Amino acid sequence: MNAPSLKRDWNAYYKAVKERPPRKTILTALAAFENPGLAIDLGCGIGRDTIAILQRNWTVLAIDKSPDAIAQLQTDLADFAPQLQTQVSQFKELKITQTVDLINASFCLPFCSPQAFPSLWEQIVNSLKPGGRFCGHFFGDRDSWGETDLIHTLSRSQVETLLQPFTIELLEEEEHPGKTPLGEDRDWHIFHIVARKL
Ligand SMILES: C[S@@+](CC[C@H](N)C(=O)[O-])C[C@H]1O[C@@H](n2cnc3c(N)ncnc32)[C@H](O)[C@@H]1O
């Protein structure tokens, strides 16, 4: 039997989270750097985390598959235009060509297909400088959305395997019933990560 399909209305999601602050993971990662550098914000949405990176004088390449999200981010963050580049791209087509200090991926990598993920993760690891940081989230194998075809989930040991090229600075596991920003019931199982490349 095929897995049930669960399509996301990302524009409704952006509206629902518009006023929410940047994530703890990006704030923790930024606080660990002595100097600003070059960052990629993967699956940036409308820039909930991008703004925190720009405000600390970093240069940012913000990437998302949604042209609507990128257009809104460009408008909302127009004051930071000299520090900001954007790219509309699907994870499966993405080629990271720069070497960077920070890659942020908040609540987006689980939406990369299991087929495309290994190559994307290899690019993430290889494009970070030694001492650079990855921060972001994965969904765990007890997340109720794992039974749909929308996300791919990882066990804790799979997450730890992915993080072998890093020193783990933050690895928090969150698991509880709750609601999505759009009010849907969901059993959340989330890994919150900050890791420094060896
Ligand atoms: C839950 S939102 C998170 C947005 C933002 N990082 C935040 O924390 O508010 C997930 C984002 O990933 C993007 N996304 C989902 N699948 C994607 C894919 N295959 N390639 C690129 N971006 C994708 C969506 O367009 C959406 O903006």
Nearest Cα to 135, choosing from 100, 165, 166, 105?
105
Gap from CA of 130 to ligand 1 centroid (Å):
26
Gap from CA of 108 to ligand 1 centroid (Å):
4
Gap from CA of 133 to ligand 1 centroid (Å):
20
Nearest Cα to 45, choosing from 119, 107, 134, 102?
107
What are 14-63's pLDDT values in tens digits?
999 999 999 999 999 999 999 999 999 999 999 999 999 999 999 999 99
What are 123-149's pLDDT values in tens digits?
999 999 999 999 999 999 999 999 888
End-to-end CA distance of the chain: 42
Gap from CA of 111 to ligand 1 centroid (Å):
7
Q: What is the mean pLDDT of residues 72-101?
A: 98
What are 74-85's pLDDT values in tens digits?
999 999 999 999
For residue 158, the SS3 value is helix
Gap from CA of 131 to ligand 1 centroid (Å):
26
Nearest Cα to 18, choosing from 190, 127, 131, 181?
181
Nearest CA to ligand 1 atom 10: 108
pTM comes to 0.97
Strands 185-197 and 166-179: antiparallel
Q: Is the CB of 66 under 6 A from ligand 1?
A: yes
**Contacts with 32 (C-beta within 8 Å, 6 or more apart), sequence order:** 133, 169, 194, 196
Q: Is the CB of 151 under 6 A from ligand 1?
A: no
pLDDT number for residue 5: 62
pLDDT exceeds 70 at position 179: yes
**Contacts with 89 (C-beta within 8 Å, 6 or more apart), sequence order:** 63, 64, 65
- Number of C-beta neighbours around residue 139 at 10 A: 22
What superfamily does domain 10-197 belong to in CATH?
Answer: Vaccinia Virus protein VP39 (3.40.50.150)
pLDDT number for residue 1: 44
What are 3-14's pLDDT values in tens digits?
566 789 999 999
pLDDT number for residue 148: 87
pLDDT exceeds 60 at position 2: no
Q: Is the CB of 41 under 6 A from ligand 1?
A: no
Nearest Cα to 191, choosing from 129, 107, 126?
107
DSSP 8-state code for residue 44? -
